[in-house]
């Protein structure tokens, strides 16, 4: 989400330190995913002073059947960098979606989105990602 491994480590350590302190005081929240939500908010806070992506129109292509194989050819760091460039809350939605660890209800809860917002962010993001994948891995025409 941050696009910077040093900042990500700082947020990770701060989040775990806070969780350990809460556990020592017997104050761990009972709600599910509180740790993920806390880490997300720390990431958002860490990026407030950074350069923010400018809103711009991005090319969009329909998601292709070969999208999973195109994504499989990516270095995971490239996908992370691409996602980190998206404005939040789309960035959060895409990061949680591509982690492939959460179902839609969990993503809605973690990203604090409504269903129609999540749907729009994922749909637009996936079509934008497909346009980027098509440019990165052009299909050769069969002769």
Q: Which two tokens stand for residue 18?
A: 């806070």
Q: Give CA separation, 38 vs 34, 56, 89, 110, 119, in Å.
A: 6, 29, 15, 9, 23
Q: Tell me the whole-structure pTM to 2 decimals.
A: 0.62
List the domain boundaries for the chain. Answer: 1-51, 61-143
Residue-wise pLDDT tens digits, 50-71: 655 556 677 889 998 888 888 8
Q: How many CB atoms lie within 10 A of CB 95?
A: 22
pLDDT reported for residue 43: 77
CB count in 10 Å sphere of residue 93: 25
- Each residue's pLDDT tens digit, 74-115: 888 888 888 888 887 888 898 888 888 889 998 998 888 999
pLDDT tens digits along 13-61:
888 888 888 888 888 888 878 888 888 888 778 777 665 555 667 788 9
The number of residues in the chain equals 143
Report angle CA 22, 23, 26 to the nearest 5 degrees. 90
Q: How far apart are CA 58 and CA 36, in angstroms?
A: 29
Largest CA distance in the chain: 68
CA torsion through residues 102, 108, 112, 116, sign: positive
pLDDT at res. 32: 78
Residue 11 predicted with pLDDT over 90: no
């Amino acid at each position: 989400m941050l696009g910077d491994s040093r900042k990500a480590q700082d947020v990770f350590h701060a989040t775990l330190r806070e969780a350990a302190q809460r556990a020592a005081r017997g104050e761990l929240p009972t709600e599910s995913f509180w740790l993920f939500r806390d880490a997300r908010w720390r990431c958002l806070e860490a990026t407030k002073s950074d350069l923010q992506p400018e809103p711009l129109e991005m090319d969009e292509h329909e998601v292709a059947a070969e999208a999973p194989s195109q994504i499989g050819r990516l270095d995971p760091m490239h996908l992370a960098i691409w996602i980190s460039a998206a404005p939040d809350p789309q960035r959060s939605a895409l990061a949680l979606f591509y982690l492939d660890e959460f179902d839609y209800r969990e993503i809605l809860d973690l990203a604090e989105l409504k269903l129609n917002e999540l749907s729009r962010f994922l749909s637009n993001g996936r079509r934008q990602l497909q346009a980027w994948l098509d440019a990165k891995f052009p299909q050769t025409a069969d002769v």
